[in-house]
């Protein structure tokens, strides 16, 4: 499979991905960029020759582009409905609960503040039961490890990712303009 992203605006560039991990890399890159005043074009060519193209601008272009990539790259035999990018990754290797939760957070809450209860509800809709104390414990650990920043008192605690610009390896960069 091949995916080409063309981004105009603050993060103007053209990126090409090729191979079995291109979906994960493209979504991870989109997740890492600032979404203000951005236009995103996505071009997908599947191994069977099927092509899909889309352009996104407006209020949530990055999120829309990520959802398009995930939807357009699926076939009925590959991924069952109601899954997310973490399911694709977890099929290739077994992840610890902490690793799975961190990847889940990076996909679901890339640049927003969230609470333990938000995470618990959303996580359960994708993976199944998880205790609120488990979520709170892992969020606190990620905060201590400088992965997340936190604010608020104990009853109103919120978290957000500290690094808003993840460095993604194995990419081809070509500046536009």
> Within a domain: residue 87?
no
Same domain, 67 and 107: no
Cβ atoms 1, 44 nearer than 8 A = yes
Q: Is residue 135 domain-resident?
A: yes
Q: Residue 145 falls within a domain, yes or no?
A: yes
Q: Would you put residue 9 in left (φ > 0), alpha (ψ -120 to 50) or beta?
A: left
pLDDT tens-place string over residues 5-21: 888 877 688 889 998 88
Domain end point (choices 40, 73, 106): 73
**Do 44 and 105 belong together in one domain?**
no
Q: Could you give the angle at the alpha carbon of 90 between the alpha carbons of 53 and 18, nearest 5°?
A: 35
Interval 47-95: pLDDT, tens? 888 888 888 887 678 888 888 888 877 754 343 344 444 454 444 456 7
Q: How many domains does the chain have?
A: 2
Q: Is residue 21 part of a domain?
A: yes
The domain of 13 spans: 2-73
Instruction: Supply the CATH number for residue 132's domain.
Output: 1.10.10.10
- Please, are residues 41 and 6 in contact by the beta-carbon 8 Å criterion? yes
């Amino acid at each position: 499979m091949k995916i080409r992203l063309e981004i105009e605006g603050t993060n103007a560039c053209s990126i090409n991905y090729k191979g079995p991990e291109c979906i994960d890399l493209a979504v991870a890159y989109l997740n890492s960029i600032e979404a203000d005043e951005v236009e995103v074009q996505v071009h997908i060519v599947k191994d069977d020759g099927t092509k899909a193209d889309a352009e996104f601008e407006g209020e949530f272009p990055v999120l829309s582009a990520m959802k398009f990539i995930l939807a357009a790259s699926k076939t009925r035999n590959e991924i069952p409905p109601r899954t997310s990018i973490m399911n694709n990754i977890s099929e290739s290797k077994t992840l610890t609960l902490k690793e799975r939760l961190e990847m889940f957070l990076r996909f679901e809450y890339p640049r927003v503040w969230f609470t333990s209860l938000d995470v618990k509800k959303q996580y359960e809709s994708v993976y199944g039961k998880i205790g609120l104390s488990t979520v709170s414990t892992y969020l606190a650990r990620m905060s201590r490890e400088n992965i997340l920043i936190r604010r608020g008192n104990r009853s109103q605690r919120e978290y957000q990712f500290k690094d808003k610009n993840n460095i993604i390896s194995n990419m081809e960069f070509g500046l536009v303009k």
